[in-house]
Amino acid sequence: MEISSFLETLYSNILDTSILEIIAVIFGLLSVWYAKKANILVYPTGIISVLIYVNICFESQLYADMGINAFYFIMSVYGWIMWSRKNVSSKERKISWSSAKLNIFSFVFFVFSLFVTIGLLKIFKGDDASYWSSYVPYIDTFTTAISVVAMLQMALKKIENWILWIIVDLVSVPLYFYKGLIFTSLQYAVFLILAILGYFEWKRIIQQENAA
């Protein structure tokens, strides 16, 4: 009986999936694919996906998620600018490992993002006991804070961004499934595979550059 109820809910959620969500998923997948290739197109495709999710979250009255996606948009613009800039030798920024100093800053930024995310959730959700009694807002806060740091690391072309994305994707697959966004959940499953491939691809690029 439980399996039957689960399948009925799954079928209903698939039918409720909008064309906009499917488009957002497609551009999201393109974005991660371009990231794997260290191609600057990661940002315009990602921005399209994020802006669509802002609209989806607004229509679904997921205002905290809407605000978080708006924050992702800002970070995507920052990344686009950073990847477009040349260094002092007029060369493209190279892929590299994070320094100890950057890792410390990333941790501080992670903590800061936790407070910002909780603040957004408090603003939009207030003291709704039914909402805060669930584990969802706390998982949302955790994955959002890590995602923001991952976006910072990606903007600086640091290979550690992929490790952070792998963590986010592992958590997000069941999270979005629970929220009823089935295609988004599947998207994160594909993201997980691409993030693993991206890590090894960037590692290979670093090794090639070091050998040269």
- 118-128 residue pLDDT tens: 887 777 777 77
Nearest C-alpha neighbor of 6 from the set 181, 178, 193:
178
Contact 182, 140 (CB under 8 A): no
- Does the pLDDT at position 112 exceed 90? yes
- Buried b / exposed e along 141-179 (16+ C-beta atoms within 10 A): bbbbbbbbbbbbbbbbbbbbbbebbbbbbbbbbebbbeb
Q: How confident is the model at residue 97 (pLDDT cuts 50, 70, 90)?
A: very high
Cα(194)–Cα(186) distance, rounded to whole angstroms? 13
- 63-82 residue pLDDT tens: 667 777 887 898 899 899 98
* DSSP letter, residue 135: S
* Residue 67 or 19, more confident: 19
Q: How confident is the model at residue 3 (pLDDT cuts 50, 70, 90)?
A: low
Give this prediction's pTM: 0.79
Cα(176)–Cα(1) distance, rounded to whole angstroms? 23
